[in-house]
Amino acid sequence: MCKMLLSINPEHINNIFKGSKRYEFRKTICTRKVDKIIFYATCPVKKIVGEANVIKILIDSPEKIWEQTYKYSGISKHFFEEYYKNKENAIAFQIDDVLKYNNPKTLEDLGILRAPQSFQYL
């Protein structure tokens, strides 16, 4: 079992908790098989607020990833296109079994000194 801590904008995390965002997008693929994502909400929250299981990792051109994910992307097409501008590949983590923590944790609770720029294995 491999867990990954992701830094995510609080707006996107709220969409994950509401169920309108069932994919988390990244520009680089991880080298390990990740089966759980831990959500770190960036400023102004700065807390670990929840987690989700990874069902599948999709890797393809940005156009094909958008076709497969747009209904539950939780983001606009314009945002998606800007994020993947000049990129050949897009990565989408399909998530499920989302759990919102009743008591968010600090990074220090996990022995982490600072928030990851993109992700960090746990």
Q: Check residue 95 and give its pLDDT.
A: 98
> pLDDT tens, 81-90?
999 999 999 9
75-84 average pLDDT score: 97
Look at the domain 3-115 and name its fold.
Answer: 2.30.130
User: Quick one: which H or E segment has residue 58?
Assistant: strand 47-60
Q: What is the pTM of this model?
A: 0.91
